[in-house]
Amino acid sequence: MSDTTRHWTPVHLPTDCAPPAGPYSPAVRTGELLFVSGQVPRDPRTGDTVGADVRQQARRTLENLGMVLAAAGAAPNDVVSVTVYLADENDWSAFNEVYREFFRPPYPSRTVVGAQLRGILVEVSAVARIPG
């Protein structure tokens, strides 16, 4: 399928950011919906993992989510759904502390699942609505 027949457009990050670690877009937009790929605690410039505990990694992950939202013309208050992957389900409370710094009531819908994350403690994906 050629790019001209797609019904969505990729979101591109600033050129000084490290490219995605795999063959995917940081986010794609279709109509008023923005689908943000899983964000991890990578330094956006170097690609290095940031943080030794779940709070530090959650903060960097949510900052990365904010950067992708901004690149698409959105903000945290545009987010309608969040999926959180935790390497250890016991980190739920610690993650929530940081989550409340990034999102404000009314909170988006959210799912949290335990996952094997290959060397990181948290990953977050999201769906946002950006009025046309």
The string of pLDDT tens digits covering residues 72-118 is: 999 999 999 999 999 999 999 999 999 999 999 999 999 999 999 99
What tokens does 130 get?
Answer: 């950006």
Mean pLDDT taken over the chain: 94
Residue 34: pLDDT over 90: yes
The amino acid at residue 119 is: G
Q: Indicate the helix (H) or strand (E) that contains 132.
A: none
Residue 3: pLDDT over 60: no
Phi-psi region of 79 (alpha: psi -120 to 50; beta: other; left: phi over 0): beta
User: Domains in the chain and their CATH numbers?
Assistant: 3-129 (3.30.1330.40)
The pTM score is 0.93
User: What local confidence, expressed as pLDDT, does residue 131 receive?
Assistant: 79
**Taking the chain, what is the end-to-end CA distance rounded to the nearest angstrom?**
25
| Contact (CB, 8 A) for 73 and 29 | no
Dihedral angle at the C-alpha atoms of 16, 27, 65, 14, nearest 10 degrees?
A: 20
What tokens does 25 get?
Answer: 């877009």
